[in-house]
Structure 1
Amino acid sequence: MKRVLVTGMGMVSAIGNNVRQNHESLRKAHSGIGKAAFFESVYASQLPFGEVKLSNDELKKLQQLQTATGYTRTCLLADKAFAEAITDAALTQGQLSSFDTALISASTVGGMCLTDQLYEDANHKSEGSEYLESYGCSAHALKLIKRYHIKGFTDTINTACSSSANAIMLGARLIRSGRVKRAVVGGADSLAKYTVNGFNALKILSQSPCKPFDVNRDGLNLGEGAAYLVLESEELAASKKVYAEVAGFGNANDAHHPSAMSDEATGAIRCMREAIGSAGIDAAQIGYVNAHGTGTQNNDQVEFFGMGELFEKLPPYSSTKSFTGHTLGAAGAVEAIYSILGIVHSELFPSLNVAEPINGFESAPVSEWKGGHNLNYVLSNSFGFGGNCTSLVFASIN
């Protein structure tokens, strides 16, 4: 099978408008969770969010989209991260338009970030806005396809919080099997009344910055962002800068509950085991786990239990959602890039806000930035509603 190499990365999140800024914030333990400035909701003044620090107008200006129509915030975030990724990989227009290049994106909110406008349009309370074709999950991907003249295989995935991890997995599988030579993969989601009200109804939104894997954790913080990776086959990447290899992946669905995982961690264990197995390594070779770590009672306990069942000795682990909030469909790609940054720079990034670890300090998550920590293999977990669980293994190219 062909090796799948990462040659470009781009992202925007609550802790930075590009990969470099995100990396700096991780190293300085600078969280982006706080009061929202642009999200309009009754909860904006009551709850903390991981909001991107750019307005829609600023995003339009940065991406030279001032005269474009139908671009929701999700579309704008996607364009920002996508443009950085393809520039980082030095892709030409010819390469982007090649039938050997795939685009696989992901989103859970999509254009429903315009919840009020969607209501107006759907109920004929307006004369029809510019967003009539922008409410779907795939609207941002269609914008990318049109703007960047993408002609190859395209797809948009919505498997809740594992969406963009599954986009990475699908892109890697297409390259491994020889169906394409290159894939731009990732996802985007923005804050929306639709999701905030929904998560609030589940009573899993914290009123303070989240504290994954802490005994007193009381919920998650919703965030927004976008992240894309350029994956290329080994022959295409021979003369290029390469960050890491997508060495393994696994997906499982325990279908235990619409919004909770089984206490036995059935799906979590299976996808982690499959990812490690498909990478051709032993569990003991994993040097760090970027955990799903939402900060909810169910997720963190189940994930911790699953890791304990899989690893004879628990490797260093942490949840970077304590920096960005839970970015839903973008989370898998955001955290994939963080995992790769750890490999490239030999670093471990911390879980913030943990005062009392769930199983004692001997098994606590990483509590502070650590440099000089050589990483050959990193496991990145993304667990979605309905039990759709995905794990990815990234490997050093050295």
Structure 2
Amino acid sequence: MPTDVVVTGMGCVSPLGLTVEANRQALWQGRDALNKARRFKSRYASLLYFGEVDQDDEVLLDRAGLSASEGHTRTDALAVLAFAQAVADARLSPAELADSSTALISASTVGGMCMTNQLYKDSNLQSDTQAFLESYSASAHAMQLVKRYGIKGLVDVINTACSSSANAIMNGVRLIRTGRARRVIVGGVDSLSKYTVNGFNSLQILSEEKCRPFDAQRKGLNLGEGAGFLVLELAELAGSRPVYAKLAGWGNANDAFHTSSMSDQATGVLRAMQMAVEEAGLIPAQIDYINAHGTGTLNNDQVELTGFASFFEKVPPFASTKSYVGHTLGAAGALEAIYSILALMHGEMYGSLNFETPIDGLGLHPLASSRQASLQYVMSNSYGFSGNCTSLIFEKA
């Protein structure tokens, strides 16, 4: 029985724009969206660079048909807007969305905790309202989607930190391959939050400059926000829907080396890439381009390059799109999957911005500017806390 799983719909909201095409244009033109925060309220707003979606909470909620008075959050709004694009792009009918064979696997690390001050007041009985009590969990946005679209199939929300939505994609394809679902809508969302900003700041890995993935002078990451969703289906069931790419391979490994860093030997990185290549029935030399995890932190970039040097006889062109939008945490894997598919569709490789000086010792450096190329297979890497490493391989449709 054929088991090819294809992508038939995509939707995203990011600091680069509110549509997939707006994101693609910014990537190709090399325009980042990293700035001092204008809407995110924090003592660090004027000190650090962020990837901030350029809309107020009220505007995003209104666009999404949500209301703060009913306990809806910025996270909910970003998810609803990106999800709506994806299902419209795939031309899914209300009946198809409500069918028990349609599943939803989403991801988030922050959920409604973007309402940090409200969370503090509510938890300390200092609030006059309980509207946000159901919004704090990582799954709150998914429940909004379930209610809005009448989704009756399997629903799950994954939190493996920065690999969360890559793992949502991986689990979605597994549901289809094992016959548990006919189609799965997969993705993730996160919004800027004092909770995460203060947490990453305590790790001393936030940069006061625009991030410089794979540069010898890198000083840390910039946090971002956004949402991305993809529709996955068996190829023979796609019918007249557009087919953007095939999800050819996937792999997940956990090196369990440290809570917030990966092993110097790149154990998880290597295992995830190996599993993905084997699942796709490829050899490493067939990978044409890598959308790297590339956060701009000392540990991550060094370990990822170590993994590349060990895995590939000749390392293919690679770059980090976090230099455009920042690290969007639970949304990163989904957004970068979409960027990888755009690269395949348009024959484009997106350069890693702000790169100047290679890291000593490995002789590797990222693609520094966007260029056209003939691509058949693109790998997208996502790594989370405790060394949860995931690699996805997309094949040109």
TM range (shorter): over 0.9
Shift in CA distance, 89/359, structure 1 to aligned 2, threshold 3 Å: farther
Q: 1:343-390: CA deviations, max 9, x gaps?
A: 00000000000010215896321111102x111111100000011110
Aligned to 1:352: 353
For 1:177, the aligned partner's letter is: T
1:340, distance to aligned residue in structure 2 (A): 0.2
Count, aligned residues = 396
Q: 1:286-335: CA deviations, max 9, x gaps?
A: 00010000000000000000011000000000000000000000000000
Is the 8 Å Cα contact of residues 291 and 321 (structure 2) preserved in structure 1? yes
- The answer to whether structure 1 residue 322 and structure 2 residue 306 are counterparts is no
1:391, distance to aligned residue in structure 2 (A): 0.5
For 1:232, the aligned partner's letter is: E
CA distance in 1, matches of 2:183, 2:143: 19
CA distance in 2, matches of 1:193, 1:366: 33
Aligned to 1:132: 133
For 2:395, the aligned partner's letter is: A
For 2:230, what is the secondary structure of its paired residue?
strand
Aligned to 1:341: 342
Aligned to 2:314: 313
Aligned-residue identity in percent: 57
Aligned to 2:161: 160
Superposed counterparts of 1:242-391, under 5 Å: 242-359=243-360, 363-371=364-372, 373-391=373-391
Is the 8 Å Cα contact of residues 351 and 369 (structure 2) preserved in structure 1? yes
- The answer to whether structure 1 residue 186 and structure 2 residue 187 are counterparts is yes
CA distance in 1, matches of 2:196, 2:62: 27
For 2:235, the aligned partner's letter is: E
Shift in CA distance, 67/51, structure 1 to aligned 2, threshold 3 Å: closer
Is the 8 Å Cα contact of residues 2 and 178 (structure 1) preserved in structure 2? no
- The answer to whether structure 1 residue 174 and structure 2 residue 175 are counterparts is yes
1:99, distance to aligned residue in structure 2 (A): 0.7
Q: 1:71-104: CA deviations, max 9, x gaps?
A: 1111110001000000000000000000110000
Is the 8 Å Cα contact of residues 309 and 362 (structure 2) preserved in structure 1? no
Unaligned runs of 5+ in 1: none
Aligned to 1:103: 104
CA distance in 1, matches of 2:374, 2:362: 23
User: TM-score normalized by structure 2?
Assistant: 0.98
CA distance in 2, matches of 1:231, 1:68: 34
For 1:102, what is the secondary structure of its paired residue?
strand
For 1:244, the aligned partner's letter is: A
For 1:292, what is the secondary structure of its paired residue?
coil
Aligned to 2:49: 48
Is the 8 Å Cα contact of residues 4 and 245 (structure 1) preserved in structure 2? yes
CA distance in 2, matches of 1:369, 1:195: 31
CA distance in 2, matches of 1:166, 1:99: 22
For 2:371, what is the secondary structure of its paired residue?
coil
Q: 1:184-214: CA deviations, max 9, x gaps?
A: 0000000000000000000000001000000
Aligned to 2:64: 63
For 2:4, the aligned partner's letter is: R
User: TM-score normalized by structure 1?
Assistant: 0.98
Is the 8 Å Cα contact of residues 289 and 318 (structure 1) preserved in structure 2? yes
Is the 8 Å Cα contact of residues 108 and 189 (structure 2) preserved in structure 1? yes
CA distance in 1, matches of 2:53, 2:70: 21
CA distance in 2, matches of 1:393, 1:354: 25
For 2:50, what is the secondary structure of its paired residue?
coil
1:225, distance to aligned residue in structure 2 (A): 0.3
